[in-house]
Structures are given as C-alpha cells and as structure tokens.
Chain A
Amino acid sequence: MTATRKRTLRTAVIGTGKISDEHLSFVASAPDVELAGVCDLSACSAQFAAARFGAAAYFTSHAAMLEDCEPDVVHVLTPPATHDRLTRDCLAAGANVIVEKPIALSGAAFESLWAEAEGRGLSIVENHNYRFNGPIQTVHDLLTRGELGDVTDVEVRLSLPIRNEGGRYADENLPAGSHQLPAGVIHEFVTHLSYLTLLFTGGFDSTRATWSNHGGGDLFKFDDLDALVLNGSTHARIRFTCQTFPDAFTVTVRGTEGMAVADLFLPHVYLEKPRAGGDKLSPMVNRFVNGKSLMKTAWTGLQDKIMQRTAYEGLTRFLEGTYEAFRTGGTPPVTHDDMLMTVRLVDALLADAGQREAHLGMAGHGRAAQ
C-alpha cells in the first residue's frame, strides 16, 4: 500500500441507507477528515444525508462524485450485489475503499478485487465492526494473556426477529435486496458471525452447516443457520435464529482454563476462571464477581439506552484504525487475511447449503490464510 501521508483526508460516501448514519456520524466528527460528498440514487436521500452530516455536495451518480470530489477514501454502503462494481470504480478513481460486509460474494471475487486494489497501490477494507466492540476486545485480551488457556469451544449466536411483521426483511411489498443473496437475508449477518468465529478459532478445517427455513413461505430462503466449524481440536458453533427470545448477540469462548461470554447487545463479559480460594471456592467467587458485574451492566445498559449508544460502538474504533492506516500508510485493522479467511468460511458454509454452483474446495484454506 502506498502511504497517502495527507493530514486531511477527503471522504465520499456511496449509499445513504440506515448504516450510513453510523459511518457519516464518524466522518462528520473525525478530526482531519473532510466529507466531500455523498451519493445515492435518490436525490432526496442524498440531499438529506448531506444536510444532516455537513457534506460539501451531494450526487446521484457515483461517477460524477468521484470525478468532482477526488476523494482519498470512499465508503461503499450500498446493497451487497453492487459492492464489486462500485469498489472497482472507486479504485479506478484513486481512492481507498471501506466496504460494508460482505465485501465480495465469493473468495474468488474477493481475491480479484484485492488484486485490483494492490495493482493500484490502494487498500480495500471490509467492515468487521463487531470485532472492535468492547466485550469482544475484552475476551480477546483475556485469551492473549492466557487467562482462558487454549480455546476449545466457541459459540457465536445471533438471535434477531427478522420475520417480525413491519420489519424491513419481512416486507413483502418491497422485499429487501438481500433476499436475492446466496444465503438470503442471513447473508447480511453471516460475515459478522464468521469473522467473530475466526477471531477465536484462528481458522477452519471443515464445516457442517444446516440452513433451514422454519417459517416457510417464498420470501425467505433461510431463516435459520446452525453450523459446526472445526479447526484442529477447536470446535465452533455458528447459530442464527429468529425464533428465540430475547434478541441476542453473544460470543462464548471456552478454554482449558476458563470461559467467557461476550454480550454485544447489552455490553458485558461474563467470566469464569480460577480464582483465589482454589478449586473449592472459585465457582462461588466467580458468581459473586459476575453478579456484581451484571448489576453494573443493568445500570450502564440503561445509560446506553438513554444516550442512544448502539451495538455499533466498534465501528468507530474500526474506522479510527482504518483512517489512521490510510493516513500513515500502515496496515488497516482488518487485514487481507482477515477478509480472505472470512469470505472463505462464508463460502464453505454456503457450500453446505448447496447454494453455490462453483464452489472451491475449502478444507484447509482458512488455515492457509492465517
């Protein structure tokens, strides 16, 4: 990657849907970042976003925006099927690109895109925001310090009511574009589930995924995923469901020395490990410590609700690191290997669903990419 070494980075944003609020909030408030333009096919939407976040100009053509604004960085926040084309256009215009997940719809497509960026001396970075949420970083730090021992089991669980009437995914009048993705609506979430799994397993050798449509009907391809991911002696389970209450996004990591549960919706880490008092007293001490921590979480959860802090807290850290890398020429916090391994795991999970016609052999690829 070529170092831009520019103090102020000119940024442009393509796509002004709901996720753009999070990106634009960061860009509007980040030091040494200038929001040069926003673009959406809807002029009203582009104009509204420009007014809310102080963009210098708005466009309905991304080509016109790239030409007029000459951005250093572009955020591509459009539906997944458009990511490849738009990212290539941004690269051709000389911009580094931050792309919402999934950056590509297959491992092969990602490698082609990466080669394009590398050939131009530019970077492409996929948003892996949940990796940077506080609870995930806490669990990762615990592992790094060896407090959980060696990882043996991981469970990444996301429970969202995607079939609820009135929700954007259940709208039969205007079906969300993600219904057309290989894994349907779950494709929007499987990237998150995959990179979080890989963060704690370090790779994968094999997968066995069961994709289901428990709710039936034609709108949803799948509404449920239950997958086993093996990496050496480490077992991981990826679980997506719309049937359980309450909504939840948790990552459980069990190791030879302890276990931790990171809760992303109500930020908290439940931790069990050997405590002072030895084997006999550790279980009781763990419960006292976690009880105190849970009570504190109840209060901070209320504060978060009032202050409108969302589970996107990690996005700010991700973007700060990414912009710093763009500015200095360093390595972005989400690397080529992170992205490649993630998209390959998604490929493998999809292959189990029989959704991909041209599926590459996955076994060992994740490991090889480490």
Chain B
Amino acid sequence: MRLLITGASGFLGRHVVAEALRRGHSVRALVRPRSKFAASDWSGDIDEARADLRAGPPPSEIFTGVEAVIHLAADKSGDLHAQFGSTVGGTEKLVQGMAAAGLKRLVLTSSFSVYDYTRIRMLSVLDEASPVAAHPEARDAYCWTKLLQEQLVRREAEAGRLEATILRPGVIFGPGELWTARLGFKLSDKLWIRTGAWSQMPLSYVENCAEAVVLAAETDAAIGATLNVLDDDTPTQRRLCRILAASVVPTPRIVPVAFSLMRGIAGLGGLFNRFVCGGRAKIPQILKSESLMARCKPLRYSNAKLKETLGWTPHYGLDEALARSTTATPPYDDVLAKIPTVAAGAHAQKSRTPSGSAT
C-alpha cells in the first residue's frame, strides 16, 4: 500500500514508518517544514513531504497515489489553544485535504486519555465500550483535544466522507520514554509520588503499537472500529516501578502514597475548589480527582477487540520490550539507510521474537 504517515518524525511516528517499510509498504512521511526527518536516512520505498497541518489543507499532490493516511500528528504540550490548533485544527485541515484528493481511508491515533475514569468502577475492565470523558475540561487540554479530534473524525465518517479507524493506545513506551505519567506524579526531576501500586499499567510497547497501527491500515474489517491498543503484559504499577528502578539510570526517588489517601486528598481539593473557589481554581494535577483517577485508578484492561479485529498479537513481551528500549541503537535500526535493503529484511526477520519466549 502507499501510506501517508503524519507525525512521522515523532516517537511513535518513526516506529510506524519502520514497521510500514518492514511490511513492504510504500511510505510518504509528512513532517513539518523544519523537521530534521529525512527520507534518505531510511532504506526502502519512502519519500517525504513537508507541510504544517496547522497552516491549511496539504496540497493535493501530497496525496497522489496514497491509499491510506495514518494520522499520528498531535500536540501534547502547550495550552488549550496550542493543542487545539495542532490536534483538532490539524486534523480538520488533513481531512479537508483528503476530501479534495478524493481519499477516504484514515487511521487516527487517539489516546486512552479520552476515557472517563471517574465513571468506570474500580477494578472493572476498561474496554472500548467504556464511557468517554463527559467533562474533559475538568481534566486537561490533552484529553479535551483528543476527544474533539475523535468527534471530528467520527462526524466525517458518519457523513460518508471518511472510512476511519480510531486507535486508542495505552501508555506507549520505548527508548527514551520509560517513565510515564501513569507511574504517579512528578514533583521534580528527582522526586515522584507513586500512588495506586496495584493499578495495572495499560502499556503498549512502541514497536507493538506501531505494528497495530499499520495493520489497522491494511485491514478493511477495521473500518468504522475504535480499538484500544495495549500489550498482553500489563504489569502493576509497583512491578513496573521496580523493573524501571533496576534498569533505568538515573532513577528518581519514589515516595509511595496509598491510593485511598490520595483519593481523599483529591476529594477535599475538589470540594475546596467547588465551594470556596466557585470551581475556578487551578488545582495541581495531583490534587484533582479527574487526573488522579485517569493516571492511577486500579482497573483492568482488555485488548481482545484489537486482537479479534486485526488478528494482532504483540511481538514483544515486557522484558524484551524493556531490553530493546534500553539498548544504544534504535529498534528500527534494521530499516535505516546504512543497512543494505536485502540485509535489512533479513535482520528484521531475525530480530523478531514471539512474545511468549520473551516473557
């Protein structure tokens, strides 16, 4: 397939490009004008297009020959307007460009952050049928804009202008991205509060996630589906913390606090905001029930729908994924240009290990 991949220079984007190339697809990487991404760094059928989706619909030639768009570009930082401009505005412009080019197939990468963790019962299973945030403004700009992005794509699909698959990855981890917000609350670079020790971590190793993203583009049965993307091995927060503390340097100092205590403190914070501040106060994330629940509430997770729809199983178990995340070379080294194409294919095959043997 000829795939257009937005956000190709990002953390997930680089791995999606690699996976698409490994699977023999032709890739057009859409990156921002000043991005350091270069198609010439990769081996395989790849070229690059430069455009900033915030500026307007991409020119129609960018879509020439493209059969499906994998849309990863979004903003996680900045204020509400900055994130809205990139995540929602960028998607709006992309969809306009696709419509002008007569292209319908879209795989959108959304996020687990869209769920309403305050309405999901403790220890129950979070799956695609779980409710999404009714008041995303109470959580944060990321949740709000990702939800708006999904709504936009869903509207376009319902109107028949898109054939869309919405993927909601859990916590994507990999090289350089090991400490996640789900481990608790960062007070400083050297100090974290960990709460919710027995919460399962909805981890998605970046290479496993990338494979699911590309598979979604390949699979007609995924059209119209919303799928959670997470690995089979979802360790407890306590277990992951211990693994990371043993393998990641430098390690911040971790102060464990009982989830029930944090829940009580956050509840008081909410009451103070509501009755003393009229709901207008900006409360630290650690004192907001919505954020605490989203990050640390003890829940269970299911990837059954993803497996059933895509026929996907994660290639890498947790131990191997962590090992691949802490080596000096990037996991997509096999599809970088320095390796001849034929050898790269062989290397890619050899590097694959069934998840069973890794754990």
Partner of A44, one of B77, B89, B277, B280: B89
Whether A48 pairs with B78 at a CB distance below 8 angstroms is no
A17 at the B interface (CB under 8 A):
yes
Whether B84 pairs with A308 at a CB distance below 8 angstroms is no
Whether B281 pairs with A45 at a CB distance below 8 angstroms is no
Whose C-beta in chain A lies nearest to the C-beta of B95? A44
Q: Please classify how large the interface on chain A is, using the bins under 10, 10 to 19, 20 to 34, 35 or more.
A: 10 to 19
- Cα A42 to Cα B91 in complex, Å, equals 11
Whether A174 pairs with B52 at a CB distance below 8 angstroms is yes
A18 at the B interface (CB under 8 A):
yes
Whether B79 pairs with A18 at a CB distance below 8 angstroms is yes
The 6 closest A-B pairs by CB, nearest first: A173-B32, A18-B81, A44-B92, A172-B34, A174-B52, A173-B52
A1-21: which have CB < 8 Å to B? Answer: 17-18, 21
A199 at the B interface (CB under 8 A):
no
What A residues does B81 contact at CB under 8 A?
17-18, 21
A43 at the B interface (CB under 8 A):
yes
Closest CB in chain B relative to A233 CB, distance in Å: 44
Q: Please classify how large the interface on chain B is, using the bins under 10, 10 to 19, 20 to 34, 35 or more.
A: 20 to 34
Whether A306 pairs with B52 at a CB distance below 8 angstroms is no
Whether B280 pairs with A48 at a CB distance below 8 angstroms is no
Whether B78 pairs with A166 at a CB distance below 8 angstroms is yes
Whether B82 pairs with A168 at a CB distance below 8 angstroms is yes
Partner of B92, one of A42, A168, A172: A42
Whether A48 pairs with B88 at a CB distance below 8 angstroms is yes
A171-223: which have CB < 8 Å to B? Answer: 172-174
B133-185: which have CB < 8 Å to A? Answer: 148, 152
A298-325: which have CB < 8 Å to B? Answer: 305-308
B257 at the A interface (CB under 8 A):
no
Interface residues of B (CB under 8 A from A): 32-35, 52, 54-55, 77-79, 81-82, 84, 88-89, 92, 148, 152, 277, 280-283
Whose C-beta in chain A lies nearest to the C-beta of B145? A48
Whether B33 pairs with A43 at a CB distance below 8 angstroms is no
Known: A44-B92, A174-B52. A305 touches B82 (CB 8 A): no
Q: A173-B33, A174-B55 are in contact. List 10 more A-B contacts (CB 8 A).
A: A18-B81, A44-B88, A44-B152, A45-B89, A48-B148, A166-B77, A174-B52, A307-B281, A308-B280, A308-B282
What B residues does A172 contact at CB under 8 A?
33-34
Whether A44 pairs with B281 at a CB distance below 8 angstroms is no
- Cα A285 to Cα B351 in complex, Å, equals 77
Whose C-beta in chain B lies nearest to the C-beta of A308? B282
Whose C-beta in chain B lies nearest to the C-beta of A41? B56
Interface centre among A21, A166, A168, A306 (most CB of B within 10 A): A306
What A residues does B79 contact at CB under 8 A?
18
Whether A43 pairs with B281 at a CB distance below 8 angstroms is no
Closest CB in chain B relative to A167 CB, distance in Å: 9
What B residues does A43 contact at CB under 8 A?
92
Whose C-beta in chain B lies nearest to the C-beta of A168? B82
What B residues does A168 contact at CB under 8 A?
82
A-B CB contact pairs (8 Å), 29 listed:
A17-B81, A18-B79, A21-B81, A42-B92, A43-B92, A44-B92, A44-B148, A44-B152, A45-B84, A45-B88, A48-B84, A48-B88, A48-B148, A166-B77, A166-B78, A168-B82, A172-B34, A173-B33, A173-B52, A174-B52, A174-B54, A174-B55, A305-B282, A306-B277, A306-B281, A306-B282, A307-B277, A307-B280, A307-B282
Q: Is the interface of A mostly helix, strand, loop or mixed?
A: loop
Whose C-beta in chain B lies nearest to the C-beta of A19? B81
What A residues does B283 contact at CB under 8 A?
306
- Cα A46 to Cα B152 in complex, Å, equals 13
What B residues does A44 contact at CB under 8 A?
88-89, 92, 148, 152
What B residues does A305 contact at CB under 8 A?
282
What A residues does B77 contact at CB under 8 A?
166
Interface centre among A18, A45, A48, A173 (most CB of B within 10 A): A173
Contact with B along A49-87 (1 / 0, CB 8 A): 000000000000000000000000000000000000000
- Cα A234 to Cα B55 in complex, Å, equals 46
Whose C-beta in chain B lies nearest to the C-beta of A51? B148
Whether A173 pairs with B34 at a CB distance below 8 angstroms is yes
- Cα A166 to Cα B82 in complex, Å, equals 10
Closest CB in chain B relative to A38 CB, distance in Å: 14
- Cα A43 to Cα B99 in complex, Å, equals 15
What B residues does A17 contact at CB under 8 A?
81
Known: A174-B54, A307-B277, A308-B282. A42 touches B32 (CB 8 A): no
Closest CB in chain A relative to B34 CB, distance in Å: 5
- Cα A48 to Cα B80 in complex, Å, equals 11
- Cα A308 to Cα B137 in complex, Å, equals 14
Closest CB in chain B relative to A25 CB, distance in Å: 11
Closest CB in chain B relative to A255 CB, distance in Å: 38
Contact with B along A327-342 (1 / 0, CB 8 A): 0000000000000000
Whose C-beta in chain A lies nearest to the C-beta of B284? A306
Interface centre among B52, B77, B84, B148 (most CB of A within 10 A): B84
- Cα A36 to Cα B84 in complex, Å, equals 23
Contact with B along A121-143 (1 / 0, CB 8 A): 00000000000000000000000
Closest CB in chain A relative to B275 CB, distance in Å: 14
What B residues does A48 contact at CB under 8 A?
84, 88, 148
What A residues does B280 contact at CB under 8 A?
307-308
- Cα A172 to Cα B35 in complex, Å, equals 10
- Cα A305 to Cα B281 in complex, Å, equals 8
- Cα A278 to Cα B79 in complex, Å, equals 51
What A residues does B52 contact at CB under 8 A?
173-174
Closest CB in chain B relative to A283 CB, distance in Å: 39
What B residues does A308 contact at CB under 8 A?
280-282
What B residues does A306 contact at CB under 8 A?
277, 281-283
Whether A42 pairs with B89 at a CB distance below 8 angstroms is yes
- Cα A166 to Cα B77 in complex, Å, equals 9
Whose C-beta in chain A lies nearest to the C-beta of B280? A307
